[in-house]
């Protein structure tokens, strides 16, 4: 059985290493889940990606809670907690309602394409 004190000591001793791994892992695997959802991949692929991303996000949240347990209340702890909760929410959304996420992604992509088109036409008018 895991001893809470041992896990807490490990979390505090290797905080920089844990965060150096979990922050990019959270962002990349959550981005992968969004891409898989937006490209209408199979539910199995979306769920597998969301499961890995949720595991990373949960690890991040528990890591932050070990710092809260000893009274460390600073901006980085709240930022990391917000990152973990956001990634967990996005991945849960991708599994629970992929159609609504796909619809939002399509709207965002079309708006970005329109913005790029407008910028290019403005550059052409100016002579860039």
In the numeric block, which tokens belong to residue 44?
Answer: 């199995």
Domain boundaries along the sequence of the chain: 4-126
* Confidence class for position 20, pLDDT limits 50, 70, 90: very high
Q: pLDDT (tens digit, 9 = 90+) per residue, 55-65?
A: 999 999 999 99
Name the more confident of 12 and 85.
85
Q: What is the pTM of this model?
A: 0.86
The confidence score (pLDDT) of residue 37 equals 96
* pLDDT at 2 exceeding the cut of 80: no
pLDDT at 71 over 90: no
* Tens-digit pLDDT profile for residues 85-117: 999 999 999 999 999 999 999 999 999 999 999
Question: Quick one: CA dihedral 42, 113, 110, 94, positive or negative?
Answer: positive
Assess whether pLDDT exceeds 90 at residue 17: yes
State the Cα–Cα distance between residues 29 and 89, nearest whole angstrom: 13
What pLDDT is stored for residue 86 in this prediction? 97
């Amino acid at each position: 059985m895991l001893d809470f004190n041992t896990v807490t000591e490990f979390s505090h001793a290797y905080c920089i290493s844990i965060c150096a791994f979990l922050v990019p892992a959270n962002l990349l695997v959550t981005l992968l889940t969004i891409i898989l959802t937006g490209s209408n991949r199979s539910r199995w692929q979306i769920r597998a990606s969301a499961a890995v991303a949720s595991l990373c996000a949960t690890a991040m949240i528990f890591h932050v809670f070990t710092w809260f347990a000893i009274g460390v209340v600073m901006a980085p702890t709240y930022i990391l907690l917000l990152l973990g909760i956001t990634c967990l929410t996005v991945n849960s959304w991708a599994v629970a309602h992929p159609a609504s996420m796909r619809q939002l992604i399509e709207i965002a992509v079309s708006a970005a394409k329109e913005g790029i088109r407008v910028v290019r036409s403005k550059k052409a008018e100016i002579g860039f």
